[in-house]
Structure 1
Amino acid sequence: MKKIIFITLFTFIAVSLSAQKEVRKAIRTGNSAYNEQRYGAAEAEYNKALDGNAGSKEASFNLANTYYRQQKWDDAIKEYQHYLTLENENPDKMSAAWSNMGNTFLKKKANEKGQAQQAPLQPGQQPEQPKQQEDNLKLSMEAYKNALRLNPKDDETRYNLAVVQKMIQDRQNEDGGGGQDKNQDQDKDQKQDQKDQQNQNNDQKKDQKDQQNQQNQNQMSQENMQQMLQAIEQDEKNTQQRVNQAKAQERKQKNENNRKQNKDW
């Protein structure tokens, strides 16, 4: 009986070690594909690793980054959230996940705005309201705040937070002032229609000027967002370069160690 128990235990340990080995292999293969910008292949490998070990922090975080690279914003946000249920010990890694989630919400907001501008309105269709886009800005802001609570020294996230807060404030000022101006213009138009057609023409010119000023404000907010997105993309490129340099240095060090060992032998 003891022999049977021993064999069963040994078999269980062997299977467990084999499964862990397969998970590590999938993660390494996924990392190689990711570094080569083959994000579809990387996604498949990270999912394979998570199938073998749903609690793998590395596979979850890297899968979220892979979704982000493929512009699968909702999938990326969901996976960052999953990662944060796994990682509760390392504040720096948790902060990085929150910061990346803030970037994802911002990218999602920019993408939604671009789609709204490109899609023509159908007969009877109402223009898209800014509430959902503003919600994405607010979600981005909260994610950046969570990141800074965990890592107050992250200056890049602090800058991103400041820009998003400014964009939210600009939109609130725009919405608050725009409604009052519109009501005032309508009242003026009704009175001037009764009094003088010439004054109505003057009001129309004034409305055009106000509309142009509002468009200029929107353009400024859009430029701020584009500058911020460009800064995020540049930071991602710099990070990738640092990773490649570190790997090259590691390979060089390994080659030197091998030469020394061969020489000693």
Structure 2
Amino acid sequence: MKSALINFRPVKCTIMVAFLFVTGIFIAQEKGDQVEKLAMKKANNYVYEGNKLYDEDFIKAEMAYRKAISEQPSTVIGNYNLGNSYYEKGNYEEALFRQQLAIKHATSKLEKHRAYHNIGNILMQNKKCQEAVEAYKNALRNDPSDDETRYNLGLAKICAEQQKDQQDQNEDDKKDQDQNEENKDQQQDQQDKKDQEGDNKDDKKDQNEEEKKEGEDQKDESGEPKDEKQDKGKEGDQEPQEQQQPKPQPGQLSPQQVKSLLEAMNNQEQKVQEKINEEKQKGIKVKSEKDW
């Protein structure tokens, strides 16, 4: 009997502990719900305060919305209204961030529809028309009956198409500009090449003229090279050790023959002169000139 009681107690104890644990969870959950409800109530009060101050004092309205988000970060209406206030102020980057937070915590299609619609408006202000198209489409998925969203979607599509055409035109213009730059570079290269060839020709021409001028400076008035004439003069100053006799040409007398002939003529003339002198001594008149 004792053994049975001993075995039974742990079971009773275990059941009691489990009961107390579950009871604690319910109590904590109830307290948590109360805290969350209190925070939500405070957040809603701050949102209401911000809405009243929205048109009168933007700075105070912004502070009220921030207090609401501080009390309840997941408040959809707090982020949504704070995003709208930034939109009116022209701070589109912060407005977009707050609308995205509103979508993140939204639990109803109506909340998502409003946030997506406002995101589309923000993107249109930032000239991001294609992204705005997608935002308006998401808004219509959550509320297909909103004609204002459908109208904005049509404007966004037109804007996106114009931007695409402009982008294509810019790309074409850029290609044309790049092609023109490339053609200019090629023309410049060709011109540089021609200029270089012209410079080379001019240099060669100048070199030829300079060589020609140097050649003319080396010639005398008769056109003969000065060096060659000087060499000839030097050769003329030197007496040859052996003077070669010129060879007679066919039909001409050799120098030796001419010399012999002159000696014969001189001897003959001497004989005639001696004969004339003898006859003069004898008194015979002799004609010294021919009768014609």
TM norm structure 1: 0.51
Instruction: Name 1:173's counterpart in structure 2.
Output: 168
Q: Using the TM superposition, give the Cα deviation of residue 44 of structure 1 relative to its aligned residue in structure 2, in angstroms.
A: 0.8
Instruction: Name 1:108's counterpart in structure 2.
Output: 126
The answer to whether the Cα contact below 8 Å between 1:47 and 1:63 also exists between their aligned partners in 2 is yes
The answer to whether the Cα contact below 8 Å between 1:95 and 1:146 also exists between their aligned partners in 2 is yes
Q: Using the TM superposition, give the Cα deviation of residue 78 of structure 1 relative to its aligned residue in structure 2, in angstroms.
A: 1.2
Q: Using the TM superposition, give the Cα deviation of residue 96 of structure 1 relative to its aligned residue in structure 2, in angstroms.
A: 2.3
Q: What per-residue deviation string (whole Å, max 9, x for no partner) do you get for residues 215-239 of structure 1?
A: xxxxxxxxxxxxxxxxxxxxxxxxx
The answer to whether the Cα contact below 8 Å between 2:47 and 2:68 also exists between their aligned partners in 1 is yes
Q: Using the TM superposition, give the Cα deviation of residue 11 of structure 1 relative to its aligned residue in structure 2, in angstroms.
A: 8.5
Say which of 12, 23, 46 aligns to 2:43. 23
Q: 2:33 and 2:105 mapped to 1: Cα distance?
A: 24
Q: Using the TM superposition, give the Cα deviation of residue 32 of structure 1 relative to its aligned residue in structure 2, in angstroms.
A: 0.9
Aligned length: 162
Q: Using the TM superposition, give the Cα deviation of residue 190 of structure 1 relative to its aligned residue in structure 2, in angstroms.
A: 5.5
The answer to whether the Cα contact below 8 Å between 1:30 and 1:46 also exists between their aligned partners in 2 is yes
* Letter aligned with residue 161 of structure 1: A
Q: Using the TM superposition, give the Cα deviation of residue 18 of structure 1 relative to its aligned residue in structure 2, in angstroms.
A: 4.9
Structure 1, gaps ≥5 residues long: 110-135, 196-265
* Letter aligned with residue 105 of structure 1: L
Where do 1:194-233 residues align within 5 Å?
none
The answer to whether the Cα contact below 8 Å between 1:26 and 1:45 also exists between their aligned partners in 2 is yes
* Letter aligned with residue 76 of structure 1: A
Instruction: Name 1:79's counterpart in structure 2.
Output: 98
* Letter aligned with residue 154 of structure 2: Y
Q: What per-residue deviation string (whole Å, max 9, x for no partner) do you get for residues 45-99 of structure 1?
A: 1111111122222112111111212222221111111111111322x43122112
Q: What per-residue deviation string (whole Å, max 9, x for no partner) do you get for residues 236-259 of structure 1?
A: xxxxxxxxxxxxxxxxxxxxxxxx
Q: Using a 3 Å threshold, how does the CA distance of structure 1 residues 28 and 174 change in structure 2: closer, same or farther? A: same
Identity of aligned residues (%): 24
SS of structure 1 residue aligned to 2:73: coil
* Letter aligned with residue 46 of structure 2: A
Instruction: Name 1:95's counterpart in structure 2.
Output: 113
Q: Using the TM superposition, give the Cα deviation of residue 30 of structure 1 relative to its aligned residue in structure 2, in angstroms.
A: 0.4
Say which of 58, 73, 77 aligns to 1:58. 77
Q: 1:86 and 1:33 mapped to 2: Cα distance?
A: 25
In terms of fraction of residues, the more helix-rich structure is: 1
The higher-RCO structure (CA 8 Å, 6+ apart) is 1
Q: Using the TM superposition, give the Cα deviation of residue 188 of structure 1 relative to its aligned residue in structure 2, in angstroms.
A: 5.1
* Letter aligned with residue 162 of structure 2: M
The answer to whether the Cα contact below 8 Å between 1:147 and 1:157 also exists between their aligned partners in 2 is no
Q: 1:167 and 1:103 mapped to 2: Cα distance?
A: 18
Say which of 135, 139, 153 aligns to 1:147. 139
RMSD over equivalenced CA pairs, Å: 3.3
Q: 1:94 and 1:9 mapped to 2: Cα distance?
A: 29
Q: 2:150 and 2:48 mapped to 1: Cα distance?
A: 31
* Letter aligned with residue 159 of structure 2: V
Q: Using a 3 Å threshold, how does the CA distance of structure 1 residues 146 and 16 change in structure 2: closer, same or farther? A: closer
Q: Using a 3 Å threshold, how does the CA distance of structure 1 residues 152 and 188 change in structure 2: closer, same or farther? A: farther
Q: Using a 3 Å threshold, how does the CA distance of structure 1 residues 192 and 63 change in structure 2: closer, same or farther? A: same
